[in-house]
Amino acid sequence: MGTVEKTAGAAAVTPAEPRDWDEIARAARPVIGRYCRACAVCDGRACGNQIPGPGAKGSGDVARRNYDAWRDVRLNMDTLVGGDAADASCELLGRRLSMPLLIGPVGDVNRHYGPSLDTMAYNRLSLAAARAEGIAAFTGDGIPDELMVQSCDAIREVGGWGVPTIKPWSREKVAAKMRVADACGPLAIAMDVDAAGLPFLKGQEPPAGPKSPEDLAVIAAMTERPFVVKGVMTVGGALKAARAGASAIVVSNHGGRVLDGCPATAEVLPEIAAAVRARAPQVTILVDGGIRSGLDVFRALALGADGVLVCRPFVVAAYGAGQAGIAFLIRRMRAELQDAMMMCGARSIADVTPDMVRVARR
Ligand SMILES: Cc1cc2nc3c(=O)[nH]c(=O)nc-3n(C[C@H](O)[C@H](O)[C@H](O)COP(=O)(O)O)c2cc1C
């Protein structure tokens, strides 16, 4: 067990090297604020529609649906395959990663999760843990503009193993943020185009909102680096992003925070992946939303993704156990992915194919 740490009004036991998720979640609960319950499984049920907080918009149903949809993807076991090790490493966004996992962007951390961490403290922890574990982390955008500058400094400090994410502001504001992002040498630069639906962005000056395909093409051309369009939920949207010059898309509904009534990402991933493979094969396909284990990563790969983003559980891990908590979760997901690969007959990421899963709708 680790040290007892004083935080804003609460004493929490912070495990130095956590043994399991329960230990991390227990340490997180006294310090994480009143909106997130640091649940045994982050399935969108306890937080419901709690915003501020990590919940989803409207009925809160979309985050739950994201999580549940992966449970309907069952793994086809086949151990009659040679080879005694599964290699989870892969090439993504121009770098070799230890597994096809990226830590997704979370902005306004203290508002949604409580004052013992803020966005920059979280960014530093997630970037450092990701780098040490051979993966990369996205950073979020927000107000004030200085946040983007600080996030990019932190990305530079880990050798560029990060992806700054810019909100769909006005063209001038995006251009300024793009210059800052580009200069820190990141793997890629992302835009969460779906943030147009975030309640707190409404009424900002300059406004953030939907982008036309022409606007997106102008923005993509502002950088030579891979440009990632996050928040794609339809075949049409994916192809528009590809035509605008996106190197990668993230099939994402922002964890249910931007539009109630969306399908789950696992529901739309296969059709989007099929269309992109056929018509824009140069585009990397990422997906997020309710991915909580290495099994879920395997499910996403089998449904057509090249890699995944995981977001909320890493925030809980950071509140509970700092960098060690985030590293624990990455290692656990990698071990689970390798186990799923071994049991389904895949020895490399390229071996994971659609026939290794069966979608069994309840
Ligand atoms: C509190 C909170 C803040 C978020 N902030 C951002 C952000 O700044 N930029 C962004 O692209 N996505 C943001 N997201 C969305 C996540 O990146 C991700 O798409 C979503 O949470 C789904 O993944 P998950 O189910 O693994 O959490 C945020 C999500 C939460 C819960």
Q: Does any ligand 1 atom lie closer than 6 A to the CB of residue 57?
A: no
pLDDT band at 16 (very low <50, low <70, confident <90, very high): confident
pLDDT at 5: 37
Residue nearest to atom 9 of ligand 1 (CA): 140
Q: Which residues are 253's β-sheet partners?
A: none
Residue 192 three-state SS: strand
Average pLDDT of the residues of the chain: 94
Q: What is the mean pLDDT of residues 59-63?
A: 97
Residue nearest to atom 1 of ligand 1 (CA): 54
197 lines ligand 1 (CB under 6 A): no
Q: What is the pLDDT of residue 15?
A: 59
Over residues 294-336, the pLDDT tens digits come to 999 999 999 999 999 999 999 999 999 999 999 999 999 999 9
- Distances in Å between the alpha carbon of 133 and those of 26, 96, 101, 102? 24, 12, 10, 11
16 vs 54, residue with greater confidence: 54
Task: Please name the residue ranges forming H helices in 186-234.
Answer: 213-220
SS3 63: helix
Which helix (H) or strand (E) segment is 97 a member of? strand 95-97
Residue 10: band (very low, low, confident or very high) from pLDDT cuts 50, 70, 90: very low
Please identify, in words, the CATH class of the domain defined by 90-359.
alpha beta
pLDDT digits (tens, 9 = 90+) for 121-179: 999 999 999 999 999 999 999 888 899 999 999 999 999 999 999 999 999 999 999 99
Q: Whose CA is nearest to atom 31 of ligand 1?
A: 54
Alpha-carbon gap, residue 355 to 362, rounded angstroms: 20
- Please state the atom number of ligand 1 nearest to the C-alpha of residue 290: 25
* Whether residue 194 has its Cβ less than 6 Å from ligand 1: no
Q: How far apart are alpha carbons 217 and 164 in whole angstroms?
A: 18
| Confidence label for 206 from pLDDT (cuts 50, 70 and 90) | low
User: Ligand 1, residues 257, 258, 259, 316: which to mutate, most atoms within 8 A of Cβ?
Assistant: 257
Ligand 1 and 106: CB distance under 6 A: yes
User: Ligand 1 centroid vs 336 CA: distance in angstroms?
Assistant: 23
pLDDT tens per residue, range 239-248: 999 999 999 9
pLDDT-based confidence at residue 11 (cuts at 50, 70, 90): very low
**Rounded CA separation 144/254 (Å):** 21
Average pLDDT in the 277-299 region? 98
Beta carbons within 8 Å of 335's beta carbon, 6+ residues apart: 294
